[in-house]
């Protein structure tokens, strides 16, 4: 199907073909606010200052391991218009295998509902999300450092969306 027959553009596949996203692994996740609107807070003096919407998003993120026993939040930062986090998925001791897509879908749904309840009816996440399967300790170290330094680079990179992905 091409754009002439469909009102929506054809999206590039973001997931690895033939990979089972319920496999135990560390995943680097990026989730963006629709149209990169800066609605979750601000960056002041190289630090993120979350507003009430950003704090609600953070609260939902931190409660995900209680909802999904198979995950752990390893590292994260909530920026004004996107989120970076490292999720550790371990489905070995759970009776109900969940995939990264299931978990991110629930997160996006819960946060959207909560922000709408707060009166922010226009809030939307961008469709889909970016993920990277973290393959080794060096890569994990570099991603954690990237997350830590993200607020420091905000003023330099916020207008360059291609820099949202490592």
List per-residue pLDDT tens for the chain, 166 residues long: 444 555 655 555 555 677 788 889 999 999 999 999 999 999 999 999 999 999 999 999 999 999 999 999 999 999 999 999 999 999 887 778 889 999 999 999 999 999 999 999 999 999 989 999 999 999 999 999 999 999 998 877 666 655 545 4
Closest of 103, 92, 165 to residue 132, by C-alpha: 165
For 111-128, b/e burial (b = at least 16 CB within 10 A) is bbebbeeeeeeebbbbeb
Beta strands across the sheet bearing 130-134 = 71-78, 82-89, 25-32, 130-134
Spatial CB neighbours of 149, under 8 Å, sequence gap ≥ 6: none
Cβ atoms of 100 and 131 closer than 8 Å: yes
pTM across the whole model: 0.84
Q: First CA to last CA across the chain, in angstroms?
A: 30
Fold of 25-155: Alpha-Beta Plaits (3.30.70)
């Amino acid at each position: 199907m091409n754009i002439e027959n469909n009102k929506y553009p054809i999206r590039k596949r973001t997931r690895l073909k033939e990979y089972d996203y319920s496999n135990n692994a560390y995943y680097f996740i990026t989730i963006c606010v629709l149209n990169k609107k800066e609605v979750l807070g601000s960056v002041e003096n190289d630090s993120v200052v979350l507003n009430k919407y950003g704090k609600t998003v953070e609260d939902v993120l931190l409660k995900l391991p209680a909802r999904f026993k198979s995950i752990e939040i390893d590292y994260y930062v909530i920026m004004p218009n996107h989120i970076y986090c490292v999720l550790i998925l371990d489905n070995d001791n759970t009776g109900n295998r969940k995939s990264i897509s299931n978990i991110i879908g629930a997160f996006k749904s819960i946060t959207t509902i909560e922000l709408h309840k707060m009166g922010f009816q226009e809030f939307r996440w961008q469709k889909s999300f970016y993920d990277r399967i973290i393959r080794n300790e060096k890569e994990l170290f570099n991603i954690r450092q990237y997350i830590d330094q993200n607020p420091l680079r905000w003023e330099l990179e916020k207008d360059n969306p291609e820099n949202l992905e490592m």
